[in-house]
Amino acid sequence: MVVKRAIVLVCDSLGVGALPDAADFGDEGSNTLGHVLRDQHPRLPNLTRLGLLHTLPQPATNESPQSAFGRMAELSAGKDTTTGHWEMMGLIVKDPFRTYPDGFPPDVIAEYERRIGRKTLGNKAASGTVILDELGEEHVRTGFPIVYTSADSVFQVAAHEEVIPVEELWRICAIARELMRGQNNVGRIIARPFVGTGKGHFKRTPNRKDFSVRPTGETVVERAHKRGKRVVGLGKIADIFDRVGIDTEIRTESNSDGMRKTIDLARGSDADFIFTNLVDFDSKYGHRNDAPGYARALETFDGELAGLLDALRPDDLLFITADHGCDPTDISTDHTREYVPLLIAGPRIARLRSLGTRSTFADLGATICDHLGIPQDDLPGKSALPELR
């Protein structure tokens, strides 16, 4: 009996060039991968062979890929994590999630403070590392959690793990999720625990937790689950889909931890659909304008990729993509509106196949449905599988 599996790696924020409407989002000229390559020159032999450098507007190599490659455009009205992941799984977001560039309304904060039984600090749009330097010491002194947002639709709550224990932070973030609905709906509530002893020394821990809004329609993840496929979500995947359709959730501490756990699953699991988010590219390097760090992370990922390729079974398909851009060379620290790569590899894909420019991220989900034998029905997107045969 032939057993087919789909393994998806989301290199969070690895955009490959500005979308035609990028200027409408303030992102004209953005190119996360292209600018990291231009300025840092990372060595990426495995990704090069898979065709990643050919997904750029101007291919950054003369080497012919040995797999299938292309790029995908985003139809949804946004450039955030939730929107990108939902679209790649067949759910187009037509109305963008609400953002709060000037902070949350006073009545919202007042109600939140009433529900959690304590005052808060911050309530503004800010970089996560900057606001810890600004308010971390006051938080430690008062015990008041730090509430802040960004250019994305997020309500973030930061707290020192020795002041507000992680489980308590998660609890008050769950309260925020219940509050931030209706007219104040936000895409995600994010718990941001940190440690450290003072300004300049505060550091986030891996105990982050996201509380996403529930998907507004059926996704490929949910459909796969309903069809009896075992779906495993690694990293923040389960959070992004509010656990709808996820059979097993595996938390990760870093990109490398995520890759180790993905390889272990590929070698010995009965999962049909392994879905992994590698968030470090975005959280540690993109948002912090750290192009050298981004390049090093790509080199590390490239090296780890060899182990996953070796673990693939004959009928497996490995998909490598991203959910948006976050150009570390940009003056902003926010996400960027970009094309994302679509790389498809597997033992039965042994030669170059250009998949061109796909009109929606949903082509990924459509291809997974086709590969796993799941009816696509009314879900959007066009399968690339016929082009691989």
CATH at 289? 3.40.720.10
pLDDT at 86: 98
**Are 86 and 225 found together in one domain?**
yes
Average pLDDT over residues 256-261: 99
Task: Give the residue from 212, 247, 263 where a domain finishes.
Answer: 212
Of all residues in the chain, what percent are helix, strand and coil, respectively (each to 5)?
35, 20, 45
Q: Is residue 279 part of a domain?
A: yes
Q: Do residues 228 and 347 share a domain? A: yes
Distance CA 375, CA 366 (A): 9
Q: Measured in whole angstroms, how far is the alpha carbon of residue 374 from the centre of its chain?
A: 24
Residue 234: inside a domain: yes
**Whether pLDDT at 17 is above 80:** yes
Q: What is the mean pLDDT of residues 252-261?
A: 98
Residue 1 has pLDDT above 70, yes or no: no
Domain annotation covers residue 68: yes
**Which residue in the block uniquely carries the two structure tokens 């999720």?**
177
pLDDT reported for residue 356: 97
Provide the domain count of the chain.
Answer: 2
List all residues 6 or more positions away from 99 whose beta carbon is below 8 Å from its beta carbon. Answer: 149, 151, 152, 153
Percent of the chain's residues with pLDDT above 70: 99
Two tokens, residue 104:
């949350």
Among 188, 212, 236, identify where a domain stops.
Answer: 212
202 occurs within a structural domain: yes
pLDDT in tens, 137-176: 999 999 999 999 998 899 999 999 999 999 999 999 999 9
* Residue 2: pLDDT over 80: no
Kindly report the number of other CB atoms within 10 A of residue 312's CB atom. Answer: 18
Q: How far is CA 73 from the centre of its chain?
A: 16
Mean pLDDT over each residue of the chain, to the nearest integer: 96
Q: Examine the pLDDT at 275 and tell me if it is beyond 80.
A: yes
Residue 13: inside a domain = yes
Residues of the chain above pLDDT 90, percent: 90
DSSP 5-21: -EEEEEETT---SB-TT
Of the candidates 193, 114, 190, which has an alpha carbon nearest to the alpha carbon of residue 152? Answer: 190
Cβ–Cβ contacts within 10 Å for residue 377, how many? 9
Residue 350 has a pLDDT of: 66
Residues of the domain holding 256:
6-96+214-388
Examine the pLDDT at 59 and tell me if it is beyond 90: no
Ranges of H-type helices in the chain: 32-40, 45-50, 81-88, 106-116, 128-142, 166-179, 220-226, 237-240, 255-268, 280, 291-311, 362-372, 385-388
Helix then strand count (H, E) for the chain reads: 13, 14
Tens-digit pLDDT profile for residues 337-377: 999 999 999 998 867 789 999 999 999 999 999 999 999 99
Residue 1 lies in a domain: no
pTM for the predicted model, two decimal places: 0.92
Cα separation, 200 vs 80, in Å, equals 28
The model's pLDDT over 169-191, given as tens digits with 9 standing for 90+, comes to 999 999 999 999 988 989 999 99
The answer on 253 and 142 residing in a single domain is: no
Mean of the pLDDT values across residues 118-133? Answer: 94
CATH number of residue 185's parent domain: 3.30.70.1250
Pair 265, 345 in one domain: yes
Same domain, 273 and 310: yes
Q: Are residues 142 and 175 in the same domain?
A: yes
**Angle at which helices 166-179 and 106-116 cross, to 10°:** 130
Statement to judge: residues 381 and 300 lie in one domain: yes
Residues 244 and 156 in one domain: no
- Region 12-37 average pLDDT: 98
294 falls within a domain? yes
What's the gap between Cα 140 and its chain centre? 30
Same structural domain, 239 and 356: yes
- Predicted local confidence at residue 168, as pLDDT: 98
Kindly state whether residue 101 falls inside one of the protein's structural domains: no
Q: Are residues 115 and 92 in the same domain?
A: no
Whether 258 and 205 share a structural domain: no
One domain for residues 224 and 142 = no
Write down which residue in 175, 195, 212 finishes a domain. Answer: 212
